[in-house]
Amino acid sequence: MAGSSGLGGGARGGQGPGTGPGAALRAPRAPLLLAALLLGAYSLCALPGRCPPAARAPAPAPAPAEPPRAARSPGAPGLPVARGPGRRRFPQALIVGVKKGGTRALLEFLRLHPDVRALGSEPHFFDRCYERGLAWYRNLMPRTLDGQITMEKTPSYFVTREAPGRIHGMSPDTKLIVVVRNPVTRAISDYAQTLSKTPGLPSFHALAFRHGLGAVDTAWSAVRIGLYAQHLEHWLRYFPLSRFLFVSGERLVSQPAAELGRVQDFLGLRRVVTDKHFYFNATKGFPCLRKAQGSRRPRCLGGSKGRPHPRVPEAVVRRLRDFYRPFNRKFYQMTGQDFGWD
């Protein structure tokens, strides 16, 4: 992953040779203003989004004779609510993390199972929309028949302090799935996603470290998310370890059927999703579905998945590996799984 850029590059570069304090005072302010604007834009991208504005709910309608197409939930633009047979239930299982770990892939793979009904969009109820109330949340869920499992995924739950207590308040029996990935690779992927939306950001290492290659900046969300052991410690105050399944984001790419087998076992489902459902797309670099839900044609995830990562100096990668190593080992001990990141 080593790149050609020097370690002194990025937004934190110093004065050029031969410049003194007087010259610095006379220097144009445009570059400084541009850097400030870019950092401000990045901060806005990194902040949690807002809950959709509420709208007045319509009066209840009589049950239709035939199930119509999925309708939109009042007050939640973009979140479909299925109508028809069955009933809406609170999720029995949640994919709670982590961002850029492979949560979208896992959800799409699980939706191949006939006994899984999952909300396609991320509702962000337990981190952004909790004030809407549990009835509002349940109304977002797809209808399910007896024996089917209701699910949703919102990766930011894992790093939200209030989420474990709120989910426990909904149901202490909720099954929790956490997709984890090498925290260094995950941080670079996180940065790549933000960079695609906000071109011109400071370099990765300028954001990851204070003062060049000084202390790692754990205030930066791309770094902080990868402290899995710290986040899990908080969750274990509310849920026993037996309520969790930790999915390897790396194995979800290299051995998708095997990881899906573990997930189906954890959810108490028959192993319906198997090797026959996947093929490896060499262009994207990850598995695709031979037959997507509701389609007769193969399907890969959206164009934003598998985007190329920016080149990061090898010295930066080594520093981050050293930084994460003790946290990774603690996470291995806590979960009883060695993810092989070290």
Q: Which residues are annotated as a binding site?
A: 100-104, 181, 189, 305-309
C-alpha span between 118 and 141 (Å, rounded): 7
The DSSP string of 69-92 is --EEPTT-TT-EE--SSSEE---S
The lowest-confidence range among 17-21, 138-142, 230-234, 263-267 is: 17-21
Specify whether 153 is catalytic. Answer: no
The pLDDT value recorded for residue 95 is 98
Region 265-290 average pLDDT: 92
pLDDT > 70 fraction of the chain, expressed in percent and rounded: 72
Q: Is the peptide bond before 116 cis (omega within 30 degrees of 0)?
A: no
The pLDDT value recorded for residue 23 is 40
Which of 99, 100, 153, 175 is the catalytic position?
100
Buried b (16+ CB within 10 A) or exposed e, 280-293: eeeeeebbbbeebb
Query: Domain 86-187+218-306 class?
Result: alpha beta
**Statement: residue 117 has pLDDT above 90:** yes
Considering Cα of 304, then 305, then 307, then 311, what sign does the dihedral take?
A: positive
**Statement: residue 265 has pLDDT above 50:** yes
The pLDDT value recorded for residue 294 is 62
Q: Which residues are annotated as a binding site for 3'-phosphoadenylyl sulfate?
A: 100-104, 181, 189, 305-309
Asked if 106 contacts 263 with a C-beta cutoff of 8 angstroms, the reply is yes
8-58 pLDDT, tens digit per residue, is 333 333 333 343 434 433 444 444 444 444 444 444 444 446 785 543 333
Looking from the CA of 242 toward its CB, the CA atoms found within 13 Å total 2
The pLDDT value recorded for residue 306 is 61
The pLDDT value recorded for residue 16 is 37
C-alpha span between 27 and 198 (Å, rounded): 26
198-213 pLDDT, tens digit per residue, is 989 999 999 999 988 7
DSSP label of 216: B
Return the top range by mean pLDDT from 56-60, 77-81, 326-330.
326-330
**Statement: residue 70 has pLDDT above 60:** no
The pLDDT value recorded for residue 5 is 34
